[in-house]
Amino acid sequence: MQPRRRFTVPLPGGRTLALGERTLIMGVINVTPDSFSDGGALFDPAAAIDAGVRLVEEGAGILDVGGESTRPGASTVDGAEERRRVLPVIEGLAARVSVPISIDTYKASTADAALAAGATIVNDISGLRYEPELADVAARRGTAIILMHTRGRSKDMYQQAIYGDVVAEVLDELRESISFATGSGVAKTRILIDPGLGFAKEAAHSYEVLARLDEFGELGCPIVAGPSRKSFLARAPRGNAPGGIAASGNTLPASARDWATAAAVASAVLSGVHIVRVHAVEEMRQVVRVADEIRRYHRVD
């Protein structure tokens, strides 16, 4: 267990995000009718805003607002509809909470409008591969940006989940995203990376990435991990399956995966990630607190 590197990430408006002393919790707000996690419970803006306030009270240090489901097989949403969903929520939250607000989008137009409405972080699941012009928005707005690893789109990502060494390949592809961002004028101090657990990865791939999260420190950016309620957590061990992980056999609905999420979150914290993205903030706050305390008492030889 290596010491966790500390970062000060600049945000718009002269604010900064201090990372490394403790693990920060990012609370998820899905403003969609087809969320895999909550089935559209927060599709109403007022409900989403109230939920965001509650997540902050429970311990969220960042709120992540998304208007398009990116679960495997999900349909895309056009920019106008995505903005209709998220902008009232971001505006409402910006007036009621003091923590940074992240916009979960890969669309340049949505990111630009969300940043104008009060968001200060862009969370791009595509690592700037879907809409490269998003890098120009991030550079112009002076926002922080999370670059996540994936391959393909929601409908075909698992067809591209073919790896020799999954960690080495994810690292290489994230390096490409970082290089493109900095080449577009985004300061590296504003870049965070997310290895993309569950995205274009079979269950065994996600478990290997989770077990080797400490290796992502070599990229020199804060690390975000999002295991919360992902389908790979529901894969049961099966006899002679590679790595002991079943390729199929989802046995638990998303809402019943919080115990599994807790194990993944604890592992991620012990590996030194800076932010965990979760749905059940109050429960995961306890997990993060204990895992952070274990880290504090760990002796480095």
DSSP-derived 3-state class of residue 186: coil
Contact 93, 53 (CB under 8 A): yes
What is the tally of structural domains in the chain? 1
Give the catalytic positions in this structure.
230, 277
Question: pLDDT confidence of 299, banded at 50, 70, 90?
Answer: confident
Q: Which residues contact 79 (CB under 8 A, 6 or more apart)?
A: 107, 109, 110
* Domain coverage including residue 25: 7-297
1 lies in some domain: no
Contact 249, 238 (CB under 8 A): yes
How many residues in total does the chain contain?
301
Q: Look at the block and give the residue holding tokens 């971001």.
A: 90
Give the Cα separation of 176 and 128 in Å (integer): 10
Give the Cα separation of 192 and 145 in Å (integer): 6
2 lies in some domain: no
Taking the model in full, what pTM does it have? 0.91
Contact 7, 20 (CB under 8 A): yes
195 lies in some domain: yes
Q: Cα angle at 86 between 48 and 76, to 5 degrees?
A: 115
pLDDT confidence of residue 40? 56
279 lies in some domain: yes
161 lies in some domain: yes
Confidence check: pLDDT of 250 > 70: no
CATH number at residue 55: 3.20.20.20
137 lies in some domain: yes
pLDDT (tens digit, 9 = 90+) per residue, 24-53? Answer: 999 999 998 755 455 556 668 999 999 999
270 lies in some domain: yes
